[in-house]
Structure 1
Amino acid sequence: MSKTPLLSVAGLQKIYGQSGFLGSGHEVRAVDGIDFEVGQNEILGLVGESGSGKSTTGRLVLRLEDPTAGEIHFDGNPIHGIDQRQMKMYRREMQVVFQDPYAALNPRMKVGDFVAEPLQIHGLTKNRTETRDRVADLFTQVGMPVDFMERFPHEFSGGQRQRINIARAIGVRPRLIVADEPITALDVSIQAQIVNLFSDLQAELGLAYLFIAHDLSMVRFLCHRVAVMMRGRIVEIAPTEMLFENPQHDYTRSLLSAIPIPNPAQERARQRIRFDPSDHPHRPDDVMTEVEPGHHVLRRA
Structure 2
Amino acid sequence: MSAAAAPLLRVEGLTKHFHTTKNLFGKPTHTVRAVEGVSFEIGHSETLGLVGESGSGKSTTGRLILRLEEPTAGQVFFEGQDISRLRPHALAPIRRRLQVVFQDPFSSLNPRLRIGESVGEPLRTHGLISSAGERREKVAALFRQVGLDPRFMDRFPHQFSGGQRQRIGIARAIALGPKLIVADEPITALDVSIQAQIVNLFLDLQEEMGMAYLFIAHDLGMVRHLCHRVAVMLRGRIVEMGSTEQVFANPRHPYTRALISAAPIPDPEREAARRRIPYDLVPPPPGAVLQEVEPGHWALSAA
Q: TM-score, normalised by structure 1?
A: 0.97
**Kept in 2: contact 1:16–1:28 (CA 8 A):** yes
Structure 1 residue 247 corresponds to structure 2 residue 251: yes
Measured in 1, the distance between the counterparts of 2:216 and 2:84 equals: 21
- Asked if 1:74 corresponds to 2:78, the answer is yes
**Residue 258 (str. 1) matches residue 256 (str. 2):** no
Matched, 1:18 2:20: yes
- Residues 2, 39 of structure 1: 8 Å contact kept: no
Q: How big is the alpha-carbon RMSD for the aligned residues of Structure 1 and Structure 2? A: 1.3
1: CA distance between counterparts of 2:235 and 2:194?
30
Identity of aligned residues (%): 62
What SS class does the counterpart of residue 22 from structure 2 fall into? coil
The answer to whether the 8 Å contact 2:48/2:231 transfers is yes
- Name the structure 2 match of 1:203: 207
Which residue of structure 1 lines up, in the alignment, with residue 96 of structure 2? Answer: 92
How far off its partner does 1:234 sit?
A: 0.3
How many residue pairs align between the two structures? 299
Distance across 1 between alignment mates of 2:9 and 2:75: 11
Contact kept, 8 Å, 1:179 with 1:210, in 2: the verdict is yes
- Following superposition, the deviation at residue 284 of structure 1 comes to 2.7
One-letter code aligned to 1:295: H
Distance 2:20 2:140 in 1: 47
Given the alignment, which residue of 212, 218, 240 partners 2:216?
Answer: 212
Aligned partners of 1:55 and 1:7: how far apart in 2? 17
- Shift in Å at residue 283 of structure 1? 2.6
- Of 220, 233, 241 in structure 1, the residue corresponding to residue 237 of structure 2 is 233
Give me the whole-angstrom Cα distance separating, in 1, the residues matched to 2:107 and 2:44.
Answer: 30
Which residue in the other structure is 2:120 paired with?
116
* SS of aligned partner of 2:193: helix
**1:54 Cα deviation from its structure 2 partner:** 0.2
Partner of 1:125: 129
Q: Distance in 2 between matches of 1:10 and 1:20?
A: 30
CA distance in 2, matches of 1:2, 1:288: 27
Asked if 1:32 is matched to 2:36, the reply is yes
Q: Distance in 2 between matches of 1:124 and 1:24?
A: 45
Could you tell me which amino acid in structure 2 is paired with residue 39 of structure 1? G
Match of 1:158 in 2: 162
Gaps of 5+ in 2: none
> Greater CA deviation, 19-28 or 144-153?
19-28
Letter in 1 for 2:186: P
> 1:153 is matched by which residue type in structure 2?
P
1:187 matched to 2:224 = no
Partner of 1:286: 288
1:19 partner SS: strand
Aligned match of 1:139: 143
SS of the residue aligned with 2:61? helix
Displacement, 1:24? Answer: 4.3
- Stretches (4+) displaced over 6 A: none
Measure, in 1, the Cα distance between the counterparts of 2:269 and 2:286: 44
> Unpaired runs of 5+ in structure 1?
none
Taking structure 2 as the reference length, the TM-score comes to 0.97
Contact 2:103 / 2:184 at 8 angstroms: preserved in 1?
A: yes
